[in-house]
Structure 1
Amino acid sequence: MPANWMRRSFLAAACASAALLAACGSSDVESAFTPTRFVAFGDAQADVGQVGGKSYTVNDGTLNIWTKQLASRYGGTIAPVSASGLSYAQGNARVAATPDAAGDASTPTVTQQVTQFLAGQQPADGDLVIVSAGASDIIAGMAAVQAGTLTEAQYVDAASQAGKNLAAQVRRLSDAGAKHILVTGTYDLSRTPWAVAIGKQDLISSASLRFNNDLLVAIEDLRKTVFYVDIAYYVNLFQGNPGGYGFTDGRTPVCTSVDAGPGIGIGAGEVNSSLCTSSTLLTDADPGRYVFADKVYLTPAAHRRFGDYAYDRLRQRW
């Protein structure tokens, strides 16, 4: 199933990305877009330290989140709103539903994040607006399946609706005047140590696919202002063939920072990478050789690789 998911996801994203690219053409030296601000919305995939300066990866003082790496490639920086920046993304945030993946009703949804931004200002011509979410809805939905409050079919349908809801937020930003919006969905969470541990790879793969595909379909007509960068395709590549991308382990979490509480939403007593530092790693482990920080989220090395990939794709588009 995961291999088929990868092929289908790549084909869907490639078609959408090709359409978006064809609409505006590739950038060149004279016309290339250089952002003056970086604005971000989403969940742990894009959280640059909203709470306590901690991100969901190894907190080692490096460019440890892909949006930081992306901004650095343009010679810029990105910071959380809590530190007077413009990244509203927050770990465990769902697209529209509450509570969050860890059961906290106070975490702003992506919808609320966009509302907060638009209430105070409007997008500027030099903004690169980043929308990156989906994992928290997949995690929260699986918790409901395990609790018996959602059927498997309802779980996949809920993921589909969450993808459509994320597309609605992209549309709000475009309608408000954002001219350069980078969108990612979720990577295929069936390939994570979490999915393997609970034996639900096929179901989680179906939910991840539906989220991304319905997001893509709903933003297809926004090709003038929106560009989709396929995180699912790229993470599949280095998770499936870690040696080809400088990794030695695509299956084992490198962090040992166990959270007695709800953590990242996959249960109590699990590793929570937002608590992870260079001092809470597997013995003698080099985090640069691992794909996963915890059972769901990526290491800084994996984030940087995706940040570089996103930068290269954006330079081809704008």
Structure 2
Amino acid sequence: MAANWMRRSFVAATCATTALLAACGSSSIDSAIAPTRIITFGDAMADVGQKGSGYTVNDGSLFNWTQQLASHYGLVLKPVSAGGTSYAQGNARISATPDAAGNAGTPTVKQQIDQFLANPQFKADDVILISAGASDIIAGMAAVQAAAQTEAQYVAATGQAGKDLAAQIGRLSDAGAKHIVVTGSYDLERSPWAKALGKQALIHQASLSFNDELKVAIKDMGKTVLYVDLAYYVNLFEANPGGNGFNNGKDPVCTSVDAGPGIGIGAGQVNSALCTPSTIVAGADYNRYVFADKVYLTPNAQRLFGDYAQQTLSHRW
């Protein structure tokens, strides 16, 4: 089993590098679908600037994986706040409020979908992207730290959040969406946040619970739903940064400290929504870091995953 896992990791890590994407065969297959519209829901992992900035180094590039995927089809993805079709918003939870940072006004993923389904007009070639879960994992950990729930309750609650996300995906499918791409959360055990807390094992259990329950609940939606494994991809980035074009898979590159609740991991922490090329570690090349802050990814990591997600999509539809 260990040998097989290592072989799979090596192959995937090799295919993840930008220079070798074509050699792995993905680019040789043209997608049959040519979407004219991409619609997204979720949290900071899919937020393309709902409040003016994304959760990464805001350098004016395609800084989010959903934008990168859209660019393969010649599409420009903008937030709903700017007249676009991306409903995702940083710190949004699946169905619970307040959000990860304590803001009751942030639309949950359910509320984002409610807003869209108030006037659903799906086109046959629409692609829906959903990336969420991190905010529920972060909020649950804060409740554990505040002794508001036990560790066992935390893991159970994140599992329920995975089921809740599956229910929202089902609503979209039932309403006529035919191409729904779902990522779940990456394993936040890998994040600088989990390591700083010294709670990697617990946060791993919560991340696994979320993703496992989500995948079980969508297993019968295979006709319209595609799961793309963000967790596996970030594992490769963090564990083998050099093999994927990075030189730092452990530390945040941004220095943009937020005096407020920021991304929900506490006051006085780096918040990448405030990060620009002028607020990074001195002398650092942020394109060679995996993490922008203690949770969210740099533009280069986002783009690499966006390429992978598009290739996976092209194999399916």
After TM superposition, the score normalised by the length of structure 1 is: 0.90
Q: CA deviation at 1:77?
A: 1.4
Per the alignment, residue 178 of structure 2 pairs with: 179
Q: Secondary structure, in 3 states, of the residue corresponding to 2:53?
A: coil
Per the alignment, residue 39 of structure 1 pairs with: 39
Q: Secondary structure, in 3 states, of the residue corresponding to 1:291?
A: strand
Per the alignment, residue 191 of structure 1 pairs with: 190
Distance 1:298 1:238 in 2: 10
Distance 1:245 1:99 in 2: 36
Distance 2:164 2:66 in 1: 22
Q: One-letter code of the match for 1:149? A: A
Q: One-letter code of the match for 1:179? A: K
Per the alignment, residue 161 of structure 2 pairs with: 162
Change (3 A) 1:292 1:150: same
**Bigger shift: residues 262-271 or 71-80:** 71-80
Distance 1:130 1:308 in 2: 14
Is it true that 1:105 corresponds to 2:116 in the alignment?
Answer: no
Per the alignment, residue 238 of structure 1 pairs with: 237
Distance 1:120 1:258 in 2: 39
Distance 1:106 1:186 in 2: 22
Q: CA deviation at 1:74?
A: 1.6
Q: Secondary structure, in 3 states, of the residue corresponding to 2:118?
A: helix
Q: Any idea what the Cα deviations from partners look like across 1:184-222, whole Å, max 9, x if unmatched?
A: 100000110000000000000000001001000000101
Q: Secondary structure, in 3 states, of the residue corresponding to 2:106?
A: coil
Q: One-letter code of the match for 1:46? A: A
Between the two proteins, the alignment pairs up a number of residues equal to 295
Per the alignment, residue 60 of structure 2 pairs with: 61
Q: CA deviation at 1:238?
A: 1.2
Is it true that 1:213 corresponds to 2:239 in the alignment?
Answer: no
Q: CA deviation at 1:28?
A: 6.2
Distance 1:35 1:291 in 2: 29
Q: Is the CA contact 2:92–2:100 (under 8 Å) kept in the aligned structure 1? A: yes
Distance 1:74 1:212 in 2: 28
Per the alignment, residue 307 of structure 1 pairs with: 306
Q: Is the CA contact 2:98–2:106 (under 8 Å) kept in the aligned structure 1? A: yes
Distance 1:128 1:291 in 2: 27
Q: Secondary structure, in 3 states, of the residue corresponding to 2:290?
A: coil
Identity over the aligned pairs, expressed in percent?
Answer: 68
Matches within 5 A, 1:282-301: 282-301=281-300
Q: CA deviation at 1:75?
A: 1.4
Distance 2:175 2:121 in 1: 7
Distance 1:296 1:131 in 2: 18
Per the alignment, residue 133 of structure 1 pairs with: 132
Q: CA deviation at 1:123?
A: 2.1
After TM superposition, the score normalised by the length of structure 2 is: 0.91
Distance 2:120 2:220 in 1: 25
Distance 2:29 2:44 in 1: 33
Distance 1:34 1:146 in 2: 47
Is it true that 1:147 corresponds to 2:146 in the alignment?
Answer: yes
Distance 2:68 2:29 in 1: 22
Per the alignment, residue 275 of structure 2 pairs with: 276
Q: Any idea what the Cα deviations from partners look like across 1:2-58, whole Å, max 9, x if unmatched?
A: xx9xx7xx99xxxxxxxxxxxxxxx965x701111010000000000001x200000
Q: CA deviation at 1:125?
A: 1.1
Q: Secondary structure, in 3 states, of the residue corresponding to 1:182?
A: strand
Q: Secondary structure, in 3 states, of the residue corresponding to 1:247?
A: coil
Q: Secondary structure, in 3 states, of the residue corresponding to 2:127?
A: strand
Distance 2:43 2:96 in 1: 13
Q: Secondary structure, in 3 states, of the residue corresponding to 1:190?
A: helix
Q: One-letter code of the match for 1:64? A: F
Distance 1:172 1:209 in 2: 24
Q: CA deviation at 1:122?
A: 2.6
Q: Is the CA contact 2:120–2:175 (under 8 Å) kept in the aligned structure 1? A: no
Q: Is the CA contact 2:39–2:128 (under 8 Å) kept in the aligned structure 1? A: yes
Q: One-letter code of the match for 2:77? A: I
Distance 2:206 2:304 in 1: 25
Distance 1:131 1:171 in 2: 12
Q: CA deviation at 1:142?
A: 0.1
Q: Any idea what the Cα deviations from partners look like across 1:63-88, whole Å, max 9, x if unmatched?
A: 10000000001211111000000100
Q: CA deviation at 1:121?
A: 2.5
Q: Any idea what the Cα deviations from partners look like across 1:237-289, whole Å, max 9, x if unmatched?
A: 11110000000000010000000000000000000000000110000110011
Q: One-letter code of the match for 1:272? A: N
Matches within 5 A, 1:113-132: 113-132=112-131
Q: CA deviation at 1:101?
A: 0.1
